[in-house]
Structures are given as C-alpha cells and as structure tokens.
With several copies, the nearest count.
Chain A
Amino acid sequence: MSTLHIFSKPISYYDNARLVNLIQPQDKVLLVSDACYSINLYRQLAASLLVLAEDASARGIDIVKPDECQNYADFVALTLSTSQSITW
C-alpha cells in the first residue's frame, strides 16, 4: 500500500510543512517539470526521489544516486504499482 506523489513546481510553491506530514516512508515521490529544479529541497519528502528524465534533461539537471531517472513508460508503471496517485 503506497501512494505516488507527483510534483510539478519548485517546492516553494507548496506548503511543505504540511506536505511532509502526508507522505509516508513507503510512498513514491515523482518530480516532473519545474519540480526538477529543486531536487535537493525535495529530499525532505523522500530518501530517494524519482525524476522524469526528459524534464530534468531539458532543464540541464543531472540525476545522481540515490535519485532515479524515470521515462514515460516508468511513469505509467508507477501509477499502476502504487495504490493511488496525487498530483499536488
């Protein structure tokens, strides 16, 4: 039972003091679009972040361990391997 949390903006767009309490250790956090810019700041939400590779690459962002690149096939698979998704 895990939830997929999808973020598309830098973390400053969200109320992260509240968000951090809604994400569980077994949950997945996927960064797409402009969320890719603040990977370091998203670290407070998950130990390993999943990042949409295309979006990060267009923004000149490198993905390094412990974070993981995802392509669109992975993105689809993620929505199926989790119980529910939330697009924040």
Chain B
Amino acid sequence: MARFVLSLHSAPSDHDTTQRLYKFALACLAQGHAIDAIFLYQHGVFHASEHINLATDELAIKSLWQQLHQHNINLMLCVTAAEKRGLNLATTGVFSVAGLAEFAMLASEADKWVQFK
C-alpha cells in the first residue's frame, strides 16, 4: 500500500482533466492505496466555487467531488492561490481551506505526488 497526494492545476472548464483526476483517484483506492490529499492549486482553486451548475449532458463536476469526499479523501484548497483569484472562501463546500505548508507536509510524507493539468 502506497500513500498518494494529487494536485489539480486547471480550472473547472477543463472537464477532461477533471474526469482524469477523478478516475485516477478511484483507481488508487481500488488498488488499496491511500490518498492523503487532493490539493487545488493555481486555476484549480475555482473548483471550490459553489456556483458550478452545469447542464445534465456535461461532466457532473460537483458530484465527482462529492464522491471523492465520501471516500474520506481530504480535499484541500490553497488559501493563497484562492485569494489571489477572487474565490469566496466563506463557502467552499467539500473543500477545506488550507495553507501551502499543510499540503507540503502531506506531500513530504507521501510516496507519490501526481499532478493533473
């Protein structure tokens, strides 16, 4: 069993990267690995907006995050990156607002850090 951290760097309009991160995360869990955190950085922070409401034929972004959350994965949002980009930090849904240091510590303890962008 290995310990992973994943980071997402692209905006929610990049549906393709979002679905790939989700599937990679599920494949990790299916193999019995642990995901210590998924971290939103750079434009990835926009995923924590509560106003993402897409048509039914679009990728169900909100639901994917809900599912990862139900797997007890720590979904973290970089506070510095989010403030610079005008995200509302009062309502970030399943994401917890975290400093870069918190994530860097988890990344230092993990076996693997895989970036998605």
Contact = CB atoms under 8 A, between A and B. Distances in A.
Contacts of A75: 24, 27
Interface size class of chain B, counting residues whose CB lies under 8 Å from the partner chain = 10 to 19
A80 interface: yes
Interface of B: 2, 4, 16-17, 20, 23-24, 26-28, 30-31, 33, 111-112, 114-117
A32 B19 CA distance: 12
Contacts of A32: 20
Given A8-B17, A8-B117, A80 B27 contact: no
B111 A76 contact: no
Secondary structure of the A contact surface, majority rule:
helix
Interface of A: 8, 32-34, 52, 54-55, 71-73, 75-77, 79-80, 85, 87
B33 A33 contact: no
A85 B112 contact: yes
